[in-house]
């Protein structure tokens, strides 16, 4: 079933967001995260954001790690976006895991040599972990969670859980350090369609000593769930369940619905705290920020902390038995009813995903 057909059953309202580019001669270092030999989508969004700082912006990507996947990622990085002019490669076992301490020292070292006007990272755990520490070493103040770039030193960022937008002018010395909200800088088709070959240059790590690699944090292990579902942060459709689902067993209905729609599964903090699903599925102020074409919320009240994570969704559908639930104030389509009747009906009527 298409999204359009699904929407036929609900009431309609809509909104959109636009970003205006600006111009000034600049040089930007983008801190790039990679996995399995490819750049992560949040790093491509950071390149998009760098492009919007100005026309004459020379963009370098900094990749660190070790082994063959780093070199694969470098090849991908060199051809990922027409704005990238250079890929800087820090190849050392000290960067096998993206720990904040060695990475921040690396950024400091690269900045000393490159004198960039801006340093950008995505607002992922990776960027949020590294960039403020690097900014402290560089003695500058970071601007976090930027959603709009209005000039090379003028940025918009949400405050009060997204209830207000603050316009911030950076008046400090270079570099201006930013984390950007990936959903506000969509990468579109550019990475698939463009053939660009930026040069790949190794970072000279001769001055990077053992002490630089040692910090308070230590890598222990990585655990991730094997799933064929799309990544929550980049999914076209997100189906979210709240406390209204009442149990982990009932939450499986949300998973089945997501499967039929080829959607990612999300959850409120209340659903996570109640143990229905793991916390990596939490959407909101202290969870993931999503911006799908379609966001479906079942048994979700619409607390401001939850809404902070879904505001950029193109279409929001809410199902709640309480007609006064705040979620209906932001929903494009609302259905007052019992989710235990509505979800089984949807499951019955929707065709299986091909």
Ligand X SMILES: Cc1cc2nc3c(=O)[nH]c(=O)nc-3n(C[C@H](O)[C@H](O)[C@H](O)COP(=O)(O)OP(=O)(O)OC[C@H]3O[C@@H](n4cnc5c(N)ncnc54)[C@H](O)[C@@H]3O)c2cc1C
Annotated binding-site residue numbers for FAD:
243, 268-269, 282-286, 299-306, 320
Structure tokens that stand for 333 in this block:
């389509």
Residue pair 57/64 in contact by the 8 Å Cβ criterion: no
- Contact with ligand X (CB under 6 A) among 31, 317, 339, 346: 339
Residue 300 contacts ligand X per CB under 6 A: yes
Task: Work out whether 175 is an interface residue with ligand X (CB under 6 A).
Answer: no
Q: What are phi and psi of 351, to 5 degrees?
A: -75, 160
Asked if 181 touches ligand X (CB under 6 A), the answer is no
Task: Return the structure tokens found at 242.
Answer: 């709240």
Q: In sequence order, what DSSP letters do the residues of 120-144 get, joined into one string?
A: EEESSHHHHHHHHHHHHHHT---EE
Instruction: Tell me: does residue 321 bind ligand X (CB under 6 A).
Output: yes
Establish if 301 lies at the interface with ligand X (CB under 6 A). yes
Listed residue (349, 351, 309, 350) closest to 330, CA to CA: 309
Answer yes or no whether residue 306 interacts with ligand X by CB under 6 A: yes
Q: Residue 166: phi, psi to the nearest 5?
A: -110, 130
Of 53 and 253, CB closest to ligand X: 253
Size of the site for ligand X (CB under 6 A): 28
3-state DSSP assignment of residue 318: strand
Nearer to ligand X, 100 or 318 (CB): 318
Instruction: Return the number of the residue (280 or 322) whose C-beta is nearest ligand X.
Output: 322
Q: In what order do the strands lie in the sheet with 315-320?
A: 264-267, 237-241, 294-298, 315-320, 333-336
Pair 95, 62: CB distance under 8 Å: no
Q: What are phi and psi of 247, to 5 degrees?
A: -160, 165
Q: How far is the CB of 271 from ligand X (least distance, A)?
A: 5
Please name the residues in contact with 105: beta carbons below 8 A apart, sequence gap of 6 or more.
137, 208, 212, 213
Smallest distance, ligand X to C-beta of residue 282, A: 5
- Residue 111, φ and ψ in degrees, nearest 5: -65, -35
Report residue 58: phi and psi, to 5°.
-95, 120
Complex with ligand X: residue 152 or 282, whichever CB lies closer:
282
Closest residue to ligand X using C-beta atoms:
284
Residues 270/242, Cβ–Cβ less than 8 Å = yes
Closest contact distance (angstroms) between CB of 120 and ligand X is: 24
Among 114, 122, 233, 242, binds ligand X (CB under 6 A): 242
State the minimum distance, in angstroms, from the CB of residue 59 to ligand X.
32
Contact between 128 and ligand X per CB under 6 A: no
CB of 25 to ligand X, least distance (A): 39
Site track 249-278 with ligand X (rule: CB under 6 A), x = hit: -------------------xxxx-------
Task: State yes or no: residue 307 binds ligand X (CB under 6 A).
Answer: no
Which of 96, 129, 250, 286 touches ligand X (CB under 6 A)? 286
Shortest distance, CB of residue 1 to ligand X, whole angstroms?
22
Residues that bind ligand X (CB under 6 A): 242-244, 268-271, 282-287, 299-301, 303, 305-306, 309, 319-322, 325, 338-340
């Amino acid at each position: 079933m298409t999204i359009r057909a699904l929407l036929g059953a609900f009431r309609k309202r809509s909104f959109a967001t636009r970003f205006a580019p600006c111009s000034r001669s600049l040089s930007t270092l983008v801190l790039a995260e990679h996995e399995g030999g490819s750049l992560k989508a949040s790093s491509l969004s950071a390149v998009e954001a760098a492009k919007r700082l100005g026309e004459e912006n020379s963009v370098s990507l900094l990749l660190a790690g070790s082994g063959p996947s780093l070199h694969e990622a470098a090849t991908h990085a060199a051809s990922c976006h027409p704005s990238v002019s250079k890929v800087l490669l820090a190849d050392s076992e000290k960067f096998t895991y993206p720990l904040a301490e060695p990475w921040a020292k690396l950024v400091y070292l690269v900045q000393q040599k490159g004198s960039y006007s801006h340093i950008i990272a995505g607002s992922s755990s990776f960027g949020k972990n590294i960039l403020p520490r690097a900014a402290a070493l560089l003695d500058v103040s970071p601007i976090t969670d930027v959603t709009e770039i209005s000039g090379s030193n003028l940025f918009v960022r949400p405050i009060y859980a997204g209830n207000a937008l603050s316009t911030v002018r950076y008046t400090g010395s270079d570099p201006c350090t930013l984390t950007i909200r990936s959903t506000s800088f969509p990468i579109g088709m550019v990475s698939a369609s463009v053939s660009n070959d930026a040069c790949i240059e190794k970072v000279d790590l001769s001055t990077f000593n053992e002490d630089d690699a040692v910090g308070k944090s230590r890598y222990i292990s990585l655990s991730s769930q094997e799933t064929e579902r799309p990544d929550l942060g980049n999914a076209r459709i997100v189906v979210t369940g709240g406390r209204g689902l009442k149990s982990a067993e009932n939450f499986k209905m949300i998973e089945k619905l997501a499967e039929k729609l080829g959607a990612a599964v999300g959850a409120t903090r209340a659903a996570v705290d109640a143990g229905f699903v793991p916390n990596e599925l939490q959407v909101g102020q202290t969870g993931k920020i999503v911006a799908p074409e379609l966001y479906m919320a079942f048994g979700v009240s619409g607390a401001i902390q939850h809404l902070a994570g879904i505001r950029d969704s193109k279409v929001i559908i809410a199902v709640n038995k309480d007609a006064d639930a705040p979620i209906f104030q932001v929903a494009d389509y609302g259905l007052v009813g019992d989710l235990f009747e509505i979800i089984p009906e949807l499951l019955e009527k929707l065709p299986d995903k091909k």
